[in-house]
Amino acid sequence: MEGHGIVVIGLSHHTAPIALREQVAFANGVIEPALRELVTLPGVQEGVIVSTCNRVEVVAYGGDAAAASDAIPEFLGRVHGCGTRELRQALYVHEGREAVRHLFRVAASLDSMVVGEPQILGQLKDQYAVAASLGTSGRVLHRCFHKSFSVAKRVRSETGIAEKAVSVGSAAVELAGGIFERFADKTALLVGAGTMGEVTARQLLARGTGSLLVANRTYARALDVARELGGLPVPFERLARYLPLADLVIGAAAAGPDFLLRRGQVEDAMRERRHRPMFIIDLAVPRAIEPAVQELDGVYVYDIDDLDGVIAENQGARATEALRAEAIVDAEVDAFWRWLEGLDVVPTIVAIRDKVEAIRQRELARHLAALGPVDARQREAIERLTRAIVNKILHAPLTALRGHQAAPGESFYVEAARALFQLGEDAPDAALAAVPVPGDDDEDA
């Protein structure tokens, strides 16, 4: 294990089916108390939770990565009330450089179901902002996450990975194309007017879908999206009443404690529709549509894992761009790791001494040249004098740095010393803080 205690522990569409991912997903209102508990765990001083439809990950930093790696799976199981044995089988653990590399790959969408998709970056920014507002992220994760945002921007601007990406929306439409030969006489019902739902609705409209209904928990948002897409807003509490009109249903709203559409509601709608086929794509995690709905005749239900096969066919076209993106990620991991290693006390003390000694020797040479010839005894006296001055000036700050060496994860004094003495390639944190969170990249939000 490497000495710096960054860990990423989680599961994703690569390691866990949707049934398990929805068990450990963090819904709104749950993530805040979980973050506060996270930073009380052994070995965890900073923490961020990332929870999307395809992944749940805990990113943590502290002085003891091994203790954090032991505590976090128990924490996930306890928070969600699920057995840790099944959970541990699906979890991956990345430590040290591999943890940083994983986060950078996630931000750059290299680990996404749809490589090159832009939504993950906006989701990371949103969830980092929650941790930052609660104070559970500190100097190291602040730097690590903001660096991941800049890596994502660099990958998008320097490779063609985003230009060739198939979207979740287009994959969903392709699935729908297997059910319906034409879309012009079809009505789509969008349930949940977030980014992914809106993208999918746009794809359906681009395919020629005849009309669109938009339902959202916040009616004002439904109104805005319906106006933008030329659809009709629907009151969320009257969703079941409008369901019989829908040939295509896009479930893109988090279900919360209960499903948004249950078998009985869809059964009633199908009866009213005289059993004309209904296509339902459930993009939410936890799922918004009760799985038993797929047992109904004439109802074709797909969830986000069903998109995997459609998307896989598109992966080959982006393989070359992905390789270029991986090279960018590797270079940025190296740069971040040099910064992180610079937070160690000993290299910082050595760097301060080297810098001050170089100044002493330069000034000594300049002034000896101005003095003219001096004998060996005089030169030795001047050497001793200047060394003594340097040692006395450095004694107090270097003693303070050594005093904080015993506090794992304490980086304030080291960072302050490196900034004051202008050591290495550090960029001031203020510069990173200037990178807005979230939504600074309109193209990514």
Backbone φ and ψ for 293, nearest 5 degrees, come out as -60, -30
Rounded to whole angstroms, how far apart are CA atoms 250 and 70?
Answer: 39
For the question of residue 53 being annotated catalytic, the response is yes
The sign of the dihedral angle between the CA atoms of 12, 18, 22, 28 is positive
List the Cα angle 336/401/412 in 5-degree steps.
Answer: 50
Instruction: Please say whether the beta carbons of 203 and 307 come within 8 A.
Output: no
Three-class secondary structure of residue 107 per DSSP: helix
Question: Which residue among the candidates 18, 34, 39, 53 is catalytic per the annotation?
Answer: 53
What is the identity of the amino acid at 105?
R
Instruction: DSSP for 296-341, please give it.
Output: STTEEEEEGGGGHHHHHTTGGGGHHHHHHHHHHHHHHHHHHHHHHH
* Alpha carbon of residue 260 to chain centroid: 27
Q: Say if CB 185 and CB 210 are below 8 A apart.
A: yes
What is the C-alpha separation between 71 and 80, in angstroms, rounded? 15
Query: Which residues carry out catalysis?
Result: 53
